[in-house]
Structure 1
């Protein structure tokens, strides 16, 4: 059994959810792909995939093996690609999805600097706060902000993202400043509609408090919510890359400084890398560390 070919067949089937689509991607017959996966299961002595006439899904063992096999193939691919000149061969159109507010404020310099380094790469940047399906919608890379979750996609951590609760001095003068988590429920909350989970605040001694928040405005863009907060509409919970300047200028004031929100991060998310194009590989390597740690928007002299 060719173990590398068998691993490649399995990883592609797991990623595509279909023997036929995996076979098309690998330019093999579905029968050969199925044979490779069966040989791999026989070799390991465990079932990796649940197969029905309508669906292929990973077993628990398959999920574990998928993660390890993907990384092994990535390492092999990286080793072979290091022998070539990535910069000379990086070309074509790179389709990137990014959140709206982050893209408007922080993506222009990134794209400009990247294209200076790789002038043969054209960039098609789409700004959307919705979590796009990068494979179905044809994106090469998606920049996402949140907490890393198990996925068949690969995620490269780019920079930490800090959330802050804040409101305008105008709003606080009119409605009073909350001094406890419980008091937040009496205030107007400007909610981000793509928020992935409930807000949980952490104290210095490790306790967790989940406030009951009453949204007076819900929108799918953090920049709009920050602007509404500046106008005195209520308080927001937004990342510092959106509200940091307004806080520095005194337009917004941080609330409840004794509490912290769970840290998030900016990730570059992309499909499995066995056949990763050089334009994507170069972008992933380029963005790694680009914003700094802490990122420049959280630095005192920013």
Structure 2
């Protein structure tokens, strides 16, 4: 018995709820579909489907077997694509989307390195901080910075996004350096418009601390928030992927290192693992290699950014 075909028949019948509809979809006879199902049940030693004249439904064993059969089909598809692509040069066009700040600071240099390795791949990168429908907008890959992803999408972790509370040395000379979060209400606080004051949420041990701060300046652009902080405008929170060099040079100073800020996941998000173009498969692997590891490349050696950890 061809077990992969049998698994495909079972999954198709389960999804369509009908042997006839599955047979039409798979371009098989109903008798052939039935034979594959019987063979699979004999091999597994369990009945997978309740069959009636109108409809088929999953048994308890069928519900347990269905995810594994789907995984088997994905694995077989992966092997087929890998074997078929070993001697191929990736080519074609990939459409990507990402937040502007991450695209500017980290993703664009990585994409340039990827294209040096695979010059036949053309990339179109659109930046937005808003959610985008990958299917409707024909996006091959989205880089998302979030802990809440759509369950219908496939995501591969790339790195961890840490943030740091910081200010310029000039601001701290003029207004002093806060020693605890309780002092933040007495300082000028700057924030990203999408999160505003809710961004100032800290954890110290098991305790969550949310000081009431006066946000005197907001912007929807991370670059503008960074410029405002560098200009001595106040205290704010920025991702380390964007300000790691400012911290290393001492142009921004990390504050309240005993308090932790929320960390977010950075993910490569796409619609499906099946039938991926070789260029996309290699790009996801490349980004995981570039950004992955125990800590992201932008955080390595960032000893002074204690509040970023």
Counterpart for residue 79 of structure 2: 79
**1:42 and 2:57 matched:** yes
* CA pair 67-270 structure 1, distance change in 2 beyond 3 A: farther
Q: 1:134 Cα deviation (Å)?
A: 1.8
Residues 237-276 of structure 1 deviation map (CA, whole Å, 9 limit, x = unaligned): 1111111111222221111110111222321111122232
Structure 2 residue ranges without an equivalent (≥5)? 28-49, 304-309
Question: 2:8 aligned to 4, 11, 21, which one?
Answer: 4
Does 2:302 align with 1:298?
Answer: no
Give me the TM-score of the superposition, normalised by structure 1.
0.75
Distance 2:154 2:277 in 1: 14
Residues 41-81 of structure 1 show CA distances to partners (whole Å, capped at 9, x for unaligned) of 712469xxxxxxxxxxxxxx9xx999877655433321222
Q: Which residue of 2 aligns with 1:274?
A: 274
Describe the shift of the 1:137–1:291 C-alpha distance in structure 2 as closer, same or farther (beyond 3 A): same
Name the counterpart of 1:160. 160
Aligned residues: 269
CA distance in 1, matches of 2:230, 2:69: 49
In 1, distance between residues paired with 2:167 and 2:68? 45
CA 1:67–1:261 in 2, change beyond 3 Å: closer, same or farther? farther
Q: Deviations over 1:217-238 (max 9, x none)?
A: 2222212101111111221211
| Partners of 1:130 and 1:194 within 8 A in 2 | no
Say what the alpha-carbon RMSD is for the aligned residues: 3.7
Q: For residues 231 and 86 of structure 1, what CA distance do their matches in structure 2 show?
A: 52
Distance 1:252 1:103 in 2: 21
Q: Could you say what secondary structure the match of 2:289 adopts?
A: coil
Aligned CA distance change for structure 1 residues 69 and 251 (closer, same or farther; 3 Å)? farther
Q: In 2, Cα distance between the equivalents of 1:41 and 1:201?
A: 53
Map of 1:1-302 to 2, 5 A cutoff?
3-4=7-8, 7=11, 42-44=57-59, 71-86=71-86, 88=88, 90-149=90-149, 151-195=151-195, 199-203=200-204, 205-293=205-293, 294-300=295-301
Partner of 1:18: none
- 1:99 Cα deviation (Å)? 1.6
Q: Tell whether the 8 Å contact from 1:87 to 1:282 is kept in structure 2 after alignment.
A: no
Q: Output the CA distance in 2 between the equivalents of 1:209 and 1:67.
A: 42
| SS at structure 1 position matched to 2:124 | strand
Distance 1:270 1:206, change over 3 A: same
Query: What is aligned with 2:45?
Result: none
Given that residues 160 and 266 in structure 2 are in contact (C-alpha distance below 8 angstroms), is that contact kept between their aligned partners in structure 1?
Answer: yes
Query: Unaligned 5+ residue runs, structure 1?
Result: 14-22, 30-37, 47-60
Q: Is the 8 A contact 2:7 2:73 kept in 1?
A: no
SS of 2:166's equivalent in the other structure is: strand
**In the alignment, which residue of structure 2 is the partner of 1:57?**
none
SS at the partner of 2:238?
A: strand
1:87 CA drift (Å): 6.3
For the pair shown, which has the larger CA radius of gyration, 1 or 2?
Answer: 2
